Amino acid sequence: MLFYSFFKSLVGKDVVVELKNDLSVCGTLHSVDQYLNIKLTDISVTDPDKYPHMLSVKNCFIRGSVVRYVQLPADEVDTQLLQDAARKEAAVPTR
């Protein structure tokens, strides 16, 4: 739940999503769900020569299970708040 809440706070920011098939997609984070599926708008690919078929795509939905990395703008991430939230979530006993 921690990452879901974190990504929800980044809606409207520009991110780069690297997929497991080595495709990197840059775009504006439009939405994210509890499965960490991501919807991006105004997308572009980092290597258009390798993926020319992606040049005409402007919006995309990315299944959470195919995401390798999400690169975030450094000025948008409050690492101290994220660390505190992770500690609190880890301290909660599971059922």
Global confidence as pTM: 0.82
Output the CA–CA distances (angstroms, integers) from residue 29 to 3, 41, 69, 71, in the order listed: 14, 7, 14, 11
Residue 76 contacts by C-beta under 8 Å, 6 or more apart in sequence? 10, 13
| Mean pLDDT across 16-39 | 95
Judge whether residue 48 has pLDDT over 90. Answer: no
What was the pLDDT predicted at 62? 96
Q: What is the 3-state secondary structure (H, E, C) of 14-25?
A: EEEEEECCCCEE
Flag whether pLDDT at 93 surpasses 80: no
Sorted by where each starts, the structural domains of the chain and their CATH numbers stand as 1-91 (2.30.30.100)
Average pLDDT over residues 74-95: 80
Is the per-residue pLDDT at 95 higher than 80?
Answer: no
- Indicate whether 15 pLDDT > 90: yes
